[in-house]
Amino acid sequence: MLNMSGAAMAQKPQGASADSGLAAESELHYRSLWILQHLLEGSELASETKTRLRELVEEHAADPEQALLEHLREVRAPLT
């Protein structure tokens, strides 16, 4: 399970840089963790939304990209 309250949760692997050749999948994984961390630590989301986001993170502990995708699907404004 991911600990979304830890400050070190979304750190890049040691020695990684923008041009270090990280696989696209690894970069997406890192960026998803970073976004989730900032959503949960920020003040923009209502507490109910944060609770649901934490549930999604727990459900998809090994796949933060899926947790983020499901969150975005749930909060998007309905198309009219």
* pLDDT one-digit tens code per residue, 11-57: 554 445 555 556 888 889 999 999 999 999 999 999 999 999 999 99
Please check the confidence at residue 77 and state whether its pLDDT lies above 90: no
The count of other CB atoms within 10 Å of the CB of residue 30 is 17
Look up the pTM and report it: 0.68
What local confidence, expressed as pLDDT, does residue 7 receive?
A: 37
Name residues whose C-beta falls within 8 Å of residue 55's C-beta, 6 or more positions apart in sequence. none
CA-based radius of gyration for the chain: 14
What local confidence, expressed as pLDDT, does residue 23 receive?
A: 80
